[in-house]
Amino acid sequence: MTRMTRPRFLLALLIAPALTGCFASEGSGGSSDDVGDGSRLRVALAFPPAENLSPYGADATLLSRLGVTEGLTALDANGAAAPALAASWTRENDRTWLFTLREAVFQDGTDVTPATVATALTHATEARPAPAALSGVTLTAKTEGTTGVRVTTKDPDPVLPLRLSSPSLAVLSAKAYGRTDRVDPVGHATGPFELTKVMGATAATLDRYDDYWGGRAQAPGIDVKFVADGTARASALRTDQVDLAEAIPVAQAATLDKGIRKATATTRTTSLLLNTESDVFQDVGLRAAARQAVDTSALAEGVYEGYADAGTGLYGPAVTWAEGKRTEPAGRAKATDPDGATITLATYDNRPELPEAAQVLKQQLEKAGFEVKLEVREYSRLESDVLAGTFDAFVGARNSLLDTGDPVSLLAGDFTCDGSYNLALLCDKDVDKAVRKAERVTDTAGRQDAAMAAEAKILGTDAVVPLVHQRVITGVGPKVGGALLDPYERTLVGLGTRR
């Protein structure tokens, strides 16, 4: 299978160390010169590095979530592009943008220059597989004077500043690209925290980068543990072994004091993806039967215990404009009798609700007449088979605005024939036509309307069944202030995060 690439959605972590105040934080933010009591932050993350810390895959969000990397832009609280390494930008014509850089220094002591930025963006365009943020996009970056970078796209791209906020388009120094086999972000990024040591899949150490352009972070460093077991993450928080714990399982939420469990509505949707090239789900009637078998309310109320809303589309309640623009899918096929058709349903256990959700789905599908085999593994042991299209169906959690912040880019990457992360292997001419139409729309409201029209086409194929829209639970210790509870899941630790 040639269209598949490494995962972009499952590690819902994130980009650019957010500008202080961009997202809701716990406690007073304070100033960057107020360094609290000087204690290092202890953080438990659900997903270890999966791709040697490549900035082009899922590890990109791990780096941004810890405040290591950043791009030319970031996302603000409203999902708009905000300055990061670029202090400002202007659109010169429908294909060309000029970004003006701020003064900044890489963690290896070299200056951020137009040449280094252009080199970083060029390396991203040459990466194979391509970063999800560049799905269907061809761009070139060239220097302009001493502070400018001119980015030109092959086709008009009205959301380029949003696209450049992607964690996978982080800017690294020239030294990061010294090896031909991989990109090395260690010591070569620009964020307020410098990654100094990685102990395989178990732990990592970060120190404050005192020359960060945005000022000194309040915490002197971060000690990270990668803990795949959600119960163990919650226990570590309860017993004061960590200060921050991401992705607390809903089953563990009640074990934490109300003051330290923080639920955040996010742009993450858990979906059932049906492999349209599998022996069973090539048949659109059987896809329709699978969709009709699913009771999303049972998942939201039972599995997620109220920390989720029943799935209504690819974009959930956190995408506030979507509900009022959503239209019913048209042209859905009539469901046919599964008659005992055997399918393999796979999911991963790094997000502890997913195996339980898959078990409930198994029962619902079997009630409808399918024979279901359930495969559950830790994500890193499941990844290659998922990307190879081994399974008939897959349950996964996808942050719809993680890669670019643009709703249309999600559709292009995940559901078009040439999409770089098309897990359902969907190739439908009407879907492609609707997505391409949306890509050409430049004004915000019109682009949203076009995105929802394309969403209706995609849902009409029954290749994807939205299950729930999640509220992510973050464990925030009682001594912690300034934790970034980001609906886009791109940040966790920032300048003002401290204990």
Paired tokens of 362 = 């198994």
Q: How far apart are CA 93 and CA 375, in angstroms?
A: 50
CB 428 within 8 A of CB 457: yes
**Mean pLDDT highest for which of 84-93, 121-130, 194-203, 466-475?**
84-93
Tell which wins on pLDDT, 109 or 52: 109
Is 369 within 8 Å of 289 (Cβ atoms)? yes
Q: Residues, the chain, total? A: 499
Quote the Cα angle for 9-10-15, to 5°. Answer: 60
- Residue 320 CB neighbour total at 10 angstroms: 12
Q: How far apart are CA 173 and CA 160, in angstroms?
A: 22
438: which strand partners?
none
Q: How far apart are CA 366 and CA 159, in angstroms?
A: 43
* Cross-strand partners of 399: 268
In the prediction, which pLDDT does 5 show? 37
Q: How far apart are CA 326 and CA 312, in angstroms?
A: 9
The DSSP element (H or E) to which 395 belongs, if any, is strand 393-399
Chain segment 335-394, per-residue pLDDT in tens: 999 999 999 999 998 888 899 999 999 999 999 999 999 999 988 788 778 878 899 999
Is residue 389 situated within a structural domain? yes
167, part of any domain: no
Local confidence band at 28 (pLDDT 50, 70, 90 cut-offs): very low
The domain containing residue 381 runs over which residues?
266-471
pTM: 0.77
Over residues 125-131, mean pLDDT: 86
What b/e string do you get for 102-114 counting C-beta neighbours within 10 Å, with b at 16 or more?
Answer: eebebbeeeebbb
Distances in whole angstroms, Cα of residue 111 to Cα of each of 101, 170, 172, 494? 11, 15, 11, 22
In a domain, residue 493? The reply is no
416 occurs within a structural domain: yes
CATH assignment of the domain containing 405: 3.10.105.10
- Per-position DSSP letters for 240-253, written without gaps between them: TS-SEE-S--HHHH
Mean pLDDT, range 256-265, rounded to an integer? 92
What pLDDT, in 10s, does the model give residues 414-451?
999 988 788 999 999 999 999 999 988 888 889 999 99
Per-residue burial over 13-45, b if 16 or more Cβ lie within 10 Å, else e, is: bbbbbbbbebbebbbebbebeebbeebbbbbbb
Model pLDDT, residue 29: 37
- What is the SS3 assignment for 226? strand
Q: Stretch 33-41: mean pLDDT, rounded?
A: 67
Q: Is 350 exposed, middle or buried (0-12, 13-18, 19+ CB in 10 A)?
A: buried
Q: Which residue has the higher pLDDT, 245 or 268?
A: 245
* Within a domain: 209: no
Q: Which two tokens stand for residue 308?
A: 């989720």
* Structural domains of the chain, count: 1
Q: Which amino acid is at 183?
A: V
Given a cut of 60, whether residue 259 has pLDDT beyond it is yes
Instruction: Write the pLDDT tens digit of every residue in 154-209.
Output: 988 888 999 999 999 999 999 999 876 789 999 999 999 999 999 989 999 999 99
Percent of the chain with pLDDT over 70: 92
**Beta carbons of 143 and 114 less than 8 angstroms apart:** yes
**Cα–Cα distance for residue pair 407/57, rounded to 1 Å:** 19
